[in-house]
Chain A
Amino acid sequence: MSEIPVLDQGLAWLILISFSIFWIFLGYYLGRKNTDVEAYMLAGRKVGLALGMTTAMATWVTSNTTMAAPQLAFQMGIWGMIGYSLGSVGLILFAPLARRIRELMPTGFTSGDFIRLRYGKTAWRIFLGISLFYGLGWLVSLGMAGGVLINTLTGINYHVGMSLMLLMCVLYTMLGGLRAVIGTDFIQTLIILCGLVIVAFLVIDHVGLDTIYSSVKEERPQLLNLLFPAAIMFLFNNLLFGIGEIFHSNVWWSRAFAFREGVGFKAYLLAGLFWAPVPIVAGFLALSVPALGVNIPLADQVGPMVVAEILGQAGAVLVFIIIFSALASSLDSLLAALSDLVLIDIYKGHIKPQTDPQTLQKVAPWIVLLLGIFTWLLCLPRITTLAELLYFTGAFVASTIWPITVGLYWRNVNPTGVSAAMFFGTLIGLASYFLIGFYVAALVSAGVSMVIVLLSTLLKPVTFDWQTLNVTHSMRA
């Protein structure tokens, strides 16, 4: 429900429509060069460092980064911001993995390809279950977040905002494939970063860091406490959850396949280093609340409300554009990566194994559209507890950290042990989610999975030939 819209509706419509037209046109323009399915799905496997780094960064800067970081700073203080910024560790740790993936699988398409070739069909199907559940959960949460944020910030009806957001992303992803996603990500990243810098400087200029610090120290000293237990616990859970999300998800794997040789390591490393300060810059705005004396009815609106309070309509416009860009940059990436997984691992892998590359190229945009429609249907009932669903998926994704990591580097991993590790890691992680709390789900799942992978490999090692990974699909037209 809309509490206090911070942006004028007419202005909001103007921004929404003009940006939508621009992104869709750009998607169409960039997609003209897609001559085969490899170009459509992986941008021709020649993406350079500039676009590689920005697409990795843009995808990881979601509406959560820009909205939840101020909320966490408001509730957990300094550790809330730093804990959130540790989400960058996943990106940094994925850097060497991206290099290894490109070396081992120069013709690979999805993370599913790796699990199938490395561990066999049982592990592949368990992994697909985990990956599709997580991917769809994230996609639906982003679609809903789009509707909720547009509604909260502007008063535009939830269903209208959510539908527009999804329609725009589906259209340009359909038209241009990964090339459109990466091209729009570049501009969206620049908008987000420049917008954040402007907002931060204006807040520092209007309120001042000394005033912010002294007001927080006087009214809410626990926010500056370095021994805040809840915040420290959040920090570790967020760290593991982030690593699990990145290591298994096809969003990051498809980029590792799409980057030009030698680019993956640098792109992920730089993306992680540049992403780390974003939650701190977005988060510290919330610490100015005691100094400003603003009444915050809902904690998740603290960022936009502080900016609107200090900067008026101009600030509200800026925040709206930043959040809109952050949402689109993640939604499009997820749509593309998830539709790749459906196309290669479900359609070609399970339904029509003999499909030729030309047919796959024709089917690919339709899968994006179908996925968009399915997401839209799931987003229709507005569920407000979706953040909990994302923590719930922590149990699923953390169980894949060990199978992915050791599978890329160790020759003797036991495939049956890996299937058991993902299955029981998820199961026991889920049990701990319900019996103990959300903050241990990822930790328990990763722990159980690690023990099973290590024990099974130690007791019954199975030698693997790395060359097996080099034979995936022949997709060139």
Chain B
Amino acid sequence: MMISLLFFKLIIYLALGVVIVAPITMAYLWFKERQEGKLW
């Protein structure tokens, strides 16, 4: 049973999307916690 082109693209783009969101979330949380004095 072979994976379809559509499913193949879906997996790659979904993974890529999450990898793009990750550093944005991290940077946002960093600035937010820094302002609140909760970084560490």
Contact = CB atoms under 8 A, between A and B. Distances in A.
B36 to A, nearest CB: 9
A273 B17 CA distance: 12
A448 to B, nearest CB: 34
A47 B29 contact: no
Interface residues of B, number: 28
Nearest to A225: B2
Q: Which of B3, B15, B26, B40 has the most CB of A within 10 A?
A: B40
B3 A209 contact: no
Contacts of B19: 193, 196-197, 200, 274, 277-278, 281
Contact of A197 (B1, B20, B25): B20
A276 B18 contact: yes
* Interface of A: prevailing SS: helix
A47 B40 contact: yes
Interface residues of A, number: 46
A48 B3 contact: no
Interface in A184-220: 186, 189-190, 193-194, 196-197, 200-201, 204, 209-210, 213-214, 217
Overall SS of chain B's interface: helix
A189 B23 contact: yes
A277 B15 contact: yes
Interface string A258-293: 001000000000100110111011001000000000
Contacts of B27: 190
Nearest to B24: A193
Given A276-B18, A280-B15, A284-B12, A46 B1 contact: no
Nearest to A192: B23
Contacts of A298: none
Interface in B8-34: 8-9, 11-12, 14-23, 25-27, 29-30, 32-33
Interface of A: 43-44, 46-51, 53-54, 57, 78, 82, 85, 179, 182, 186, 189-190, 193-194, 196-197, 200-201, 204, 209-210, 213-214, 217, 221, 224-227, 260, 270, 273-274, 276-278, 280-281, 284
Interface of B: 1-3, 5, 8-9, 11-12, 14-23, 25-27, 29-30, 32-33, 38-40
